[in-house]
Chains A and B, each alone.
Chain A
Amino acid sequence: MTKQMLDKQPREVSSKKTKSKSLPPAIQVESLSKSFGEQTVLKRISLEITQGETLAVLGRSGTGKSVLLKLIIGLHKPDAGSIRVNGAEVTNLPPKELNEVRKKVGFLFQQAALYDSLTVEENVAFPLRRHSKMSDGERNKRVHDLLASVGMDQDAHKLPAQLSGGMQKRVGLARALALDPEILLFDEPTAGLDPITAAETDDLILRLQKERHLASVVVTHDIHGARAVSDRLALLRDGEILIEGTFEDLRKSRDPFVVQFLNGS
């Protein structure tokens, strides 16, 4: 099944690219650098994600994948470089406009980061309560639809502490999708999930891309998942992008690190 989807992808990418020529890229990162104290995490990274495209970001633990995602929505301030989301420069946007950008971005945290004093359904309702003018009935329906789409509607009244890690992750996914985002930033959406649930999550992401033409960045350690959901992959090493391209491009690479990375998992 994944094979079929993969075969279709190169053509899809090119059609998407021509379609969105007039629009600015969904995300454009230029020579972005970030250090924490003495430690340099990202060194002059440049990336571009066009509208409707999915980029998978791979790399060893601690290379700065999560930091990259947080930079994109302005949770960290970069030391240098520019980040544009739908054409808006997030690095020096005033809070109000930054929030407008953030409303259009669905962010899934690596550890889910659910509000632990709120129940599952309240967690998903939180962004809706703040930013949409839905009636209580509409909101409840939306929350339960979202939870059903990640298979968590049975546990709507539980608190995050009563869920397993994988379940928290799925609730986080539902919360990230609550405001109908145009851009998805997912930090390891399938980590900690069993192969069946992981495949279901990948299917959900694929379906979202197809139906809603979303641009997304998916950080993952799962090569097969990355292959299934993404148009392009980028491999980070030592704060730099070692290689970027389709899965086939990566497979053709002779670089020992790339070879080891693809075969090691």
Chain B
Amino acid sequence: MANSATSINRTGSLSATGDVVVKFFEWFGNLGIFCAQWVRTAFTPPYELREFVHQFDELGSKSLPLVALAGAATGIVITLSTRDSLIRFGAKSLLPAVVVFSILKESGPIITALVVSGRAAAGIGAELGAMKVTEQIDAMEASAVNPYKFLVTTRVLACMLMLPLLTLVSDFFGILMGWIASTAAEPISLRLFIHNGFKDVTFHDFLPPTLKTIVFGLLIGMISCFQGMRASGGTEGVERAATNSVVLASLFIILADVLLVRLILVFFS
């Protein structure tokens, strides 16, 4: 930490661009250290089970309504827009399959991750940021409790395990609303919609995209905890931590998705 501080000072004479580059690498370096610390504390006892359950519950109950709503809206949008295109190409009967595939494979996971990043990353960033600037983190250390273990490990794990579950919720509401939207245009029974939609779905279509949200959860938890724990400078610092958590988590989710979609194609097709 001390070294990175001096390296910043040395670049005082360099251009502003150089400064930004150094800051960028410093940020990445510190994030790396932070992640390493997480790995170390996550797998050594004592485990903070109580706090984990609390965070898991908190995250789930706060994000669930938003995720359900976002999933439902996505289902409607996908149905309405693809229906129009499919009619034009004379492939209207494919509608259920297209809706189910695009929700399961991409829009369900990514929409869930982005919604949770807006809800939970901001929440975690602000909460830990406030704890940092009001010395609550110091107080925790002073009572011989490792704040990484107690606050960070539990939150990151909660995000990782909760995201696939929330994705299932989002998928469910998306497909349900997809059916309602297509029935509104032209009645089709739910049974038939589901049958047509899922008849070509394999586990490879469903499992890898759902499980990739564990990575999104890791990004959300890690980035927001990192931003929160390094907050400084009063209320403004808390605000910065919250905003940066959302912006960076969303950005990293989209970037990671590019990589993950590619990897899944390589390994599962």
Given contact pairs A111-B134, A116-B134, A73 touches B139 in the complex (Cβ within 8 A): no
Task: Tell me which residues from 117 to 148 in chain B have a Cβ below 8 Å from any Cβ of chain A.
Answer: 127, 130-131, 134-136, 138-146
Number of B interface residues at 8 Å Cβ cutoff, please give it.
Answer: 16
- Please tell me which one of the listed residues A95, A99, A107, A113 contacts residue B136 in the complex, with CB atoms under 8 A apart: A113
- Specify which chain B residues have a CB less than 8 angstroms from the CB of A37 in the assembled complex: 5
Q: How far is the CA of A111 from the CA of B234 in the complex (A)?
A: 13
Minimum Cβ distance to chain B for residue A233 (Å): 24
Task: Tell me which residues from 149 to 198 in chain A have a Cβ below 8 Å from any Cβ of chain B.
Answer: 175, 179
A105 near B135 (CB under 8 angstroms)?
Answer: no
> Is A205 an interface residue when CB atoms closer than 8 A count as contact?
no
Interface string of A62-73 (1 = CB under 8 A from B): 000000001001
Number of A interface residues at 8 Å Cβ cutoff, please give it.
Answer: 24
- Specify which chain B residues have a CB less than 8 angstroms from the CB of A175 in the assembled complex: 143
Interface string of A98-125 (1 = CB under 8 A from B): 0110110101010101111100000000
B138 near A127 (CB under 8 angstroms)?
Answer: no
> Is A130 an interface residue when CB atoms closer than 8 A count as contact?
yes
B135 near A127 (CB under 8 angstroms)?
Answer: no
Minimum Cβ distance to chain A for residue B241 (Å): 16
Q: How far is the CA of A95 from the CA of B41 in the complex (A)?
A: 12
- Please tell me which one of the listed residues A73, A114, A115, A131 contacts residue B142 in the complex, with CB atoms under 8 A apart: A73
> Is A134 an interface residue when CB atoms closer than 8 A count as contact?
no
Q: How far is the CA of A259 from the CA of B170 in the complex (A)?
A: 72
Q: How far is the CA of A105 from the CA of B144 in the complex (A)?
A: 10
- Specify which chain A residues have a CB less than 8 angstroms from the CB of B130 in the assembled complex: 116
B134 near A105 (CB under 8 angstroms)?
Answer: no
Summarize B's interface: helix, strand, loop or mixed.
helix
Summarize A's interface: helix, strand, loop or mixed.
mixed
Q: For A69, give the chain B residue with the smallest CB separation.
A: B142
- Please tell me which one of the listed residues B5, B134, B135, B143 contacts residue A126 in the complex, with CB atoms under 8 A apart: B143
Q: For B142, give the chain A residue with the smallest CB separation.
A: A107
Minimum Cβ distance to chain A for residue B89 (Å): 55
- Please tell me which one of the listed residues A73, A109, A131 contacts residue B135 in the complex, with CB atoms under 8 A apart: A109
Given contact pairs A113-B134, A116-B134, A95 touches B139 in the complex (Cβ within 8 A): no
> Is A204 an interface residue when CB atoms closer than 8 A count as contact?
no
B135 near A102 (CB under 8 angstroms)?
Answer: no
B138 near A70 (CB under 8 angstroms)?
Answer: yes
Q: How far is the CA of A73 from the CA of B138 in the complex (A)?
A: 10
Minimum Cβ distance to chain B for residue A80 (Å): 13
Interface string of A27-42 (1 = CB under 8 A from B): 0000000000100000
B143 near A109 (CB under 8 angstroms)?
Answer: no
Q: How far is the CA of A103 from the CA of B139 in the complex (A)?
A: 12
A130 near B145 (CB under 8 angstroms)?
Answer: yes
B141 near A75 (CB under 8 angstroms)?
Answer: yes
- Specify which chain A residues have a CB less than 8 angstroms from the CB of B141 in the assembled complex: 75, 102
Q: How far is the CA of A8 from the CA of B143 in the complex (A)?
A: 34
Minimum Cβ distance to chain B for residue A51 (Å): 21
Minimum Cβ distance to chain B for residue A156 (Å): 19
Q: How far is the CA of A175 from the CA of B143 in the complex (A)?
A: 9
- A sample of 14 more A-B contacts (CB under 8 A), given A115-B139, A131-B143, is A37-B5, A75-B138, A75-B141, A99-B144, A100-B144, A102-B141, A107-B139, A109-B138, A109-B142, A113-B139, A114-B136, A115-B140, A126-B145, A127-B145
Residues of A within 8 A of B (CB): 37, 70, 73, 75, 95, 99-100, 102-103, 105, 107, 109, 111, 113-117, 126-127, 130-131, 175, 179
| Cβ-closest 5 pairs across A and B | A99-B144, A113-B139, A113-B135, A102-B144, A107-B142
- What are 25 A-B pairs with beta-carbon distances under 8 A? A73-B142, A75-B138, A75-B141, A95-B146, A99-B144, A99-B146, A102-B141, A102-B143, A102-B144, A103-B144, A107-B139, A107-B142, A107-B143, A109-B139, A111-B135, A113-B135, A114-B139, A115-B136, A116-B131, A116-B136, A126-B143, A126-B145, A127-B145, A130-B145, A131-B144
